[in-house]
Structure 1
Amino acid sequence: MQNVIAISAAACQGIVAAQTTTDEMLLKRIAHGDCSAMHTLYLRHNVRVYRFVLRSLRDATAAEDIVSQVFLDVWRTADQFEGRSRVSTWLLSIARFKTLTAMRQRRHEDIDQENVREIADGADTPETSLDRSNVSAILRACIAKLSPAHREIIHLVYYHEKTVEEAGEIIGIPPSTVKTRMFYARKQLATLLKGAGLETLAA
């Protein structure tokens, strides 16, 4: 019984230690070949990275492959992290580069076809659209109508909760450009939402 209690206590201590270890501390350990630190970092961020990639690729298998590539890069280059941004921002920067590369390699495939299918027919009334789709589906469809640059900004700021500065670092543009894109993206999205009958979201 005492052995069981001791093991449970040790396990709890391990969980607490993992929770209090920062991403930056994990990267330092990863740079020295610590596999457990790599596992912890992966558990913390793999879902976020996967969702980020999936929104652009619309291909679950390809997104999973890129997530693997991202964390393989982290394992190989952890010692190159300079701490000028949050680790989550650094991870999404790597993911974005690999996603854009994968998208360029797709020559005859329209990556937005799945989104296009979700967009309500223009002849539908707002009431019909709302009957056929829930609010979340209509919102995704409206976001899909934005330009790639504006759609990317919306995803980073609203879905991934990145600041203007962090979004600019991930994309590689000045914060002022991020703000400009945000302004026009929100303006266009509001128009699309009104057209879909979602006045409250457009406000």
Structure 2
Amino acid sequence: MDDPDLAWLRRVADGDEGALERLYARHSTALLRYAQRLLGDREAAEEALQDTFVALWQGAGSFEGRSAVRTWLFGICRRQALARAGRHREESLPVDYAEAFPDGAARPDDVVLARADAAAVGAALARLPAAQREVIHLAFAAELPHAAIAQLLSIPVGTVKSRLFLARAALARALPGATAVERSRR
């Protein structure tokens, strides 16, 4: 596996603080957004991010290479955020979650999503089941491939694809203009 972060991770395992700072600079923004999506609270997300990098510092030598370092970091972050959330996991997402979606899509439902009002997208995302929201975020905001998402969530790749399909379909139906998109697909 040609992973540009692997050399940095090995240096972290050897106690190199500069390498830890490098990995933090490369991944902290995406990890913080992910933790905030999971927790719904910026302060709790920042604490989960800090816990993620403490765990990275302490466990860098245990990396087995079964995934990309970035995927491994998202797994650590997910565990830290969910441990912090406990049983009272936040189910709603902030409106700025819509920023995670690209605006140059070719399919009609993608065009509707890209042009939709941010508040409408945020509300539509909040109505999705948590499992679909998480897959949407990992695929679009974190830009993880389907196989990495499947490994991170311990689900089959087909389940990742199904959740993405269902989430995108639900979002297209929930957003203004979706009716025309649905008619054009028939």
TM-score bracket for the superposition, by shorter chain length = 0.7 to 0.9
Normalising to structure 2: TM-score of the pair? Answer: 0.78
Aligned to 1:111: 90
* Aligned counterparts of 2:64 and 2:180: Cα–Cα separation in 1: 43
Alpha-carbon distance, 1:201 to partner: 8.2
Which residue of structure 1 aligns with residue 139 of structure 2?
157
Question: d(CA) in 2 for partners of 1:25 and 1:100?
Answer: 28
d(CA) in 2 for partners of 1:68, 1:35: 15
> 1:25, CA displacement in angstroms?
0.3
CA distance in 2, matches of 1:77, 1:97: 14
TM-superposed CA distance for 1:152, in Å, is 0.8
Quote the residue 1:54 is aligned against.
36
The alignment status of 1:44 with 2:26, answered yes or no, reads yes
Q: TM-score, normalised by structure 1?
A: 0.72
Residues 158-201 of structure 1 deviation map (CA, whole Å, 9 limit, x = unaligned): 111111101111111111111121222222121111xx346688
AA of the residue aligned to 1:70: T
1:180 to 126, 145, 162: 162
**Corresponding pairs, count:** 161
Specify which of 2, 8, 11 is matched with residue 29 of structure 1.
11
Deviation readout 1:86-117 (Å, 9 max, x if unpaired):
111111111111222222243xxx7245659x
Higher relative contact order (CA 8 A, sep 6+): 2
Paired with 2:61 and 2:92, the residues of 1 have a C-alpha distance of 40
- Unpaired stretches in structure 1, ≥5 consecutive residues: 1-20, 117-133
Give me the whole-angstrom Cα distance separating, in 1, the residues matched to 2:13 and 2:125: 39
Q: Which runs of 5+ in 2 are unaligned?
A: 96-115
Tell me by how many angstroms 1:28 deviates: 0.5
Letter aligned with residue 184 of structure 1: L
| 1-structure distance, mates of 2:164, 2:56 | 30
Q: Counterpart amino acid of 2:83?
A: T
Over aligned residues, Cα RMSD in angstroms? 2.4
**In structure 2, what residue type is equivalent to 1:104?**
G
Matched, 1:101 2:83: yes
Taking every aligned residue pair, what percent have the same amino acid on both sides?
36
